[in-house]
């Protein structure tokens, strides 16, 4: 007879934190959100930690090199999606690792035969006002000129004006040759009063830009996550099919941490993948595994050599695994059980294996609840998909700006490896949907707001660190009636455009 759980599986929305004593030290500025990413022995520190407990999901519509740079600046890690070619994914990793060195691959490029309208559209898409004019419109084409906001005025130029007519041509630009180090590049920028310095190779092809604004960026981003060479930390997703080819390429590209991207991690194939990595690299390559939702799944992956374990099946905003296959578990219940297993494993072995809550985050306070229940950090997809830095397009839908967001289990993603259980290639049925999410602006603005809420709630609980929150938190189940009571009720809400006289 099947095993029946006595308790219902529950979501984060069914719980609330009960405030504890707040001392005078309990102010947001004193809160540390530093958290381990990879396993470590008792009495030691993990080889990889984050300054904030947030990572972005391993998804085409969420995590590319642009997202990785933006999130690392804030202290978190982005796992670049693996549902692409090995070379393409490795190239994204390389771009992140080279970015902090000050040499930025141009993401705003155009041909000389394009028009002013194309420039405006490109600026709206990327948010960048410096545009490289190359012969083929790519980031590595032969540099012919550059366009900045100083080169045109929309009110005085027809939108069909060719870029070649108003760009600053190459013979009027100050450029540096490939091989110039960052110190020399910055000297050229300051001596020539430049905002951007193009770096070209011997044949005149564009390689990078060095920007004046990046000189002081470390002051603007005090929590940025850097490796020993002052480069941004970046993660990458792998699967259980082509790991023998993909893992070496990602390691060579400089990926700091890998994660097996799968809807179900309690499998022979994940153990086989972890065994390959351990046999080839020992413990030098850091790799997470998952997803699981119970004690047995955690112990299986911890003993197989995972550096962290990811929790969650079917709780994502675009995931329909529970609907399609009838498997999964409420995210809060899963986190609580796995956290207990993690602590028991630590007590028994002296090895602490961090756990990541993946999915089920609808409101900002759900992050705090996940941490209080035992998660070391949270993986979010929908949350990050809404920002400028996600790789998807921005659209106007019914008068509101939206961004595309689709699951890895959709035909659009074609990521059959993520759902593979040893069968033939291909996606037999979908476990995700294709959708829109409301556009929310810059990542930095939103992350700062979210984390200010997390810190404030931690202070309400009398905690200044995540381990202290997990020790002191008091959590209560809530009834359906109290959920209604928790929102605005029994009032007539004012319209925001009403003027009171």
Q: So which residues are the catalytic ones?
A: 319, 418
- Tokens found for residue 394: 């921005």
| Alpha-carbon separation of residue 46 from 34, 41, 132, 302, 339 (angstroms) | 11, 8, 42, 15, 18
CA dist 347 → 350, 351, 352, 374, 478 (Å): 6, 8, 9, 15, 32
Residue 284 near residue 314, CB atoms below 8 Å? no
Contact yes or no for 42/352 (Cβ under 8 A): yes
Q: In which residue are the tokens 């939206």 written?
A: 402
3-state DSSP assignment of residue 150:
helix
Give the pair of three-digit tokens for residue 252: 């060579």
CA distance 104 to 106: 6
- C-alpha dist (Å) from residue 6 to 2, 3, 395: 13, 10, 46
The secondary structure of 317-365 as a DSSP string is TTB-HHHHHS----HHHHHHHHHHHHHHHHHHHSEE--EEEES---SHH
Q: 470: which DSSP letter?
A: H
Give the separation between CA 427 and CA 417, rounded to whole angstroms. Answer: 8
Give the helix/strand (H/E) hosting 384.
helix 382-385
61 contacts 405 by C-beta, under 8 angstroms: yes
Which of these, 415, 414, 416, 407, lies nearest to 435 by C-alpha position?
Answer: 407
What the block records as the tokens of 266 is 């309690």
CA distance 146 to 170: 7
Q: Which of 70, 65, 59, 56 is nearest to 93 (CA)?
A: 65
The answer to whether the beta carbons of residues 272 and 253 sit under 8 Å apart is no
The torsion angle over the Cα atoms of residues 446, 450, 453 and 459, rounded to 10 degrees, is -130
**Residue 32 in contact with residue 465, Cβ under 8 Å?**
yes
Using the 8-state DSSP alphabet, how is residue 390 labeled? S
């Amino acid at each position: 007879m099947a095993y029946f759980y006595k308790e219902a599986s529950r979501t984060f929305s069914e719980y609330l934190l009960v405030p504890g004593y707040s001392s005078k030290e309990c102010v947001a500025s004193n809160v540390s959100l530093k958290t381990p990413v990879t396993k470590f022995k008792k009495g030691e520190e993990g080889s990889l930690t984050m300054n904030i407990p947030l990572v972005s999901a391993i998804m085409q519509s969420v995590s590319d090199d642009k997202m990785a740079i933006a999130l690392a600046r804030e202290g978190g890690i982005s796992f670049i999606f693996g549902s692409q070619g090995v070379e393409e994914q490795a190239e994204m990793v390389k771009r992140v690792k080279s970015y902090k060195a000050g040499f930025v691959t141009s993401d705003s490029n155009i041909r000389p035969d394009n028009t002013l309208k194309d420039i405006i559209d490109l600026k709206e898409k990327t948010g960048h006002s410096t545009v490289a004019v190359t012969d083929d419109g790519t980031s590595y084409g032969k540099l012919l000129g550059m366009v900045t906001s100083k080169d045109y005025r929309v009110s005085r130029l027809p939108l069909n004006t060719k870029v070649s007519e108003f760009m600053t041509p190459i013979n009027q630009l100050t450029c540096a040759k490939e091989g110039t180090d960052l110190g020399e590049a910055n000297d050229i920028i300051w001596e020539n009063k430049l905002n951007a310095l193009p770096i070209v190779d011997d044949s005149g092809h564009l390689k990078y830009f060095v920007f004046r604004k990046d000189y002081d960026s470390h002051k603007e981003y005090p929590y940025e996550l850097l490796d020993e060479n002052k480069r941004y930390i970046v993660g990458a997703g792998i699967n259980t099919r082509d790991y023998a080819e993909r893992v070496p390429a990602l390691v060579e590209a400089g990926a700091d941490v890998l994660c097996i991207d799968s809807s179900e991690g309690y499998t022979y194939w994940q153990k086989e993948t972890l065994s390959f990595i351990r046999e080839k690299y020992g413990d030098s390559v850091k790799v997470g595994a998952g997803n699981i939702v119970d004690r047995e799944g955690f112990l299986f992956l911890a003993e197989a050599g995972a550096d962290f374990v990811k929790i969650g099946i079917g709780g994502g905003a675009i995931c329909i695994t529970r609907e399609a296959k009838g498997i999964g578990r409420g995210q809060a219940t899963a986190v609580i059980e796995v956290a207990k297993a993690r602590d028991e494993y630590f007590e028994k072995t002296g090895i602490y294996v961090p756990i990541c809550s993946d999915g089920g985050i609808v409101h900002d306070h759900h992050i705090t609840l996940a941490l209080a229940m035992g998660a070391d950090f949270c993986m979010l997809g929908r949350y990050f998909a809404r920002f400028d830095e996600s790789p998807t397009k921005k659209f106007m839908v019914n008068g509101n700006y939206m961004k595309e967001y689709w699951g890895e289990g959709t035909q659009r993603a074609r990521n059959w490896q993520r759902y593979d259980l040893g069968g033939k290639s291909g996606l037999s049925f979908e476990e995700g949907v294709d959708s829109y999410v409301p556009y929310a602006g810059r990542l930095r603005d939103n992350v700062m707001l979210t984390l200010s809420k997390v810190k404030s709630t931690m202070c309400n609980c009398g905690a200044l660190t995540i381990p202290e929150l997990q020790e002191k938190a008091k959590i209560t189940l809530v009834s359906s009636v109290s959920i209604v009571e928790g929102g605005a009720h029994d009032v007539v809400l004012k319209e925001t455009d009403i003027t009171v006289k």
